[in-house]
Structure 1
Amino acid sequence: MSNLQQFLNAHPIDNLTDEVVISERFKGEDGKRLKFKIKAMSNRDFDDIRRQSMEIRKNKKVELDLQKFNSAIIINHTLEPDFKDAASIQATGSLNPEEYLNKVLLAGEIAELSMQIQRLSGFDQDMDELVNEAKN
Structure 2
Amino acid sequence: MSFEAFMKQNALQKENEEIVISDRFKNPDGSNAKWIIRPLGSEEHSKLRSECLSIEGKGRKTIQKFDQQKYMCKLAVSGVVEPDLHNKELQDSYGVMGAESLINKMLYAGELDKLVEGIQEISGIGKDFNELVDEAKN
TM-score (norm 1): 0.81
* Counterpart for residue 30 of structure 2: 31
1:12 is matched with: 13
User: Residue 32 of structure 1: CA displacement?
Assistant: 1.4
In the aligned structure 2, how far is the partner of 1:50 from the partner of 1:31? 37
Change (3 A) 1:82 1:132: closer
1:36-65, CA deviations, whole angstroms, 9 ceiling, x for partnerless residues? 001111111101100101122344211211
| Residues 105 and 57 of structure 1: CA distance in aligned 2, closer, same or farther (over 3 Å) | same
- Could you say which residue in structure 1 is the equivalent of 2:42? 43
Local SS of the residue matching 1:123: coil
Q: Quick one: distance in 2 between partners of 1:51 and 1:62?
A: 11
Hey, what does 1:69 align to over in structure 2? 71
1:124: how far off? 5.0
- Residues 113/135 of structure 1: CA separation in 2 closer, same or farther (3 Å cut): closer
**What SS does the corresponding residue of 1:73 show, helix, strand or coil?**
helix
Aligned-residue offset at 1:90: 2.3
2: CA distance, partners of 1:5 / 1:119: 24
Would you say the 8 A contact 1:27–1:34 is kept in 2? yes
Change in CA separation of 1:131 and 1:95 when aligned onto 2, cut-off 3 Å: closer
Matched to 1:77, the amino acid is G
Matches within 5 A, 1:1-136: 5=5, 9=10, 11-13=12-14, 16-58=15-57, 59-132=61-134
Aligned residue pairs: how many?
Answer: 134
For residues 72 and 94 of structure 1, the distance between their equivalents in structure 2, rounded to whole angstroms, comes to 16
Deviation at 1:23, TM superposition (A): 2.1
- Structure 1: state its 5+ residue gaps: none
| Percentage identity across paired residues of the two chains | 33
Aligned AA (1:5): A
SS of alignment partner, residue 63 of structure 1: strand
Structure with higher helix content: 1
Taking structure 1 as reference, are residues 11 and 131 closer, same or farther at Cα in structure 2, changes over 3 Å only?
Answer: closer
In structure 2, the gaps of 5 or more residues are: none
TM-score under structure 2 normalisation? 0.80
